[in-house]
Amino acid sequence: MITMNDIIREGNPTLREVAKEVPMPPTDEEKKLGEEMLEFLKNSQDPVKAEELQLRGGVGLAAPQLDISKRLIAVHVPSSDPEDDTPVLSTVMFNPKILSHSVQDACLGEGEGCLSVDREVPGYVVRHARVTVSYYDEAGVKHKRRLKNYEAIVVQHEIDHLNGVMFYDHINEENPFALKEGVLVIE
């Protein structure tokens, strides 16, 4: 089972590498890794398990954060409606790729955090508001999916990890809360 000890932190060069494509179909080991990454996210969002295992909450995870430089991510984005237990997006993506994106940009009003960054880095992380991504599932089947809002932001944060990009690379250094005209702020 993945715990915080398995997650590498800033300074580890793997976080700045471009990860390698995973040959399709994935091996049993790669499939198992994807399942464990998804399970980690679910555990991290479960108050009892998160407390028990001392997990920081996460809605996404990328294999390079486990010091595995492969193009594999997991996302588990719960519904914003507390009454609704169905996550808006819960999946493992092999070789995810942004095929196209909106002209409009967006950012989370509360900024972003990262399990590989043991500090707060305030500021708007400006990303594409909407993206069309392709990816392969653990059976090696290709999917194409349009994403918007929070789930679009999360998937971009994870794909960044596959390219050695950290969320704070996108924050404006002069004014971390500067926003251009038309950028959608997602609360």
Residues that bind Ni ion (CB under 5 A): 114
Give the residue ranges of the annotated binding site.
114, 157, 161
Pattern 63-102, ligand 5LI, x by CB under 6 A: --x-------------------------------------
- Which one of 30, 112, 151, 158 is the catalytic residue? 158
Give the residue ranges of the annotated binding site for Fe cation.
114, 157, 161
**Quick one: CA dihedral 176, 182, 183, 184, positive or negative?**
positive
Query: Whose CA is closest to 38, among 55, 62, 8?
Result: 62
Q: Which residue type, as a one-letter code, is found at position 18?
A: V
Q: Give the Cα separation of 7 and 26 in Å (integer).
A: 22
Pattern 152-171, ligand 5LI, x by CB under 6 A: -xx--xx--x----------
Is there a catalytic annotation at residue 158? Answer: yes
Min CB(106)–Ni ion separation in Å:
18
Cα 183 versus chain centre, distance: 21
12 three-state secondary structure: coil
| 25 or 36: CB nearest ligand 5LI | 36
Other C-beta atoms closer than 10 Å to the C-beta of 157 total: 24
Q: Which of 16-24, 61-69, 80-88, 176-184 is the region at the interface with ligand 5LI (rule: CB under 6 A)?
A: 61-69
Tokens of 9: 């932190």
Strands 130-136 and 142-148: antiparallel
Q: Which residues bind ligand 5LI (CB under 6 A)?
A: 58-62, 65, 108, 112-116, 153-154, 157-158, 161
Residue positions annotated with a catalytic role: 158
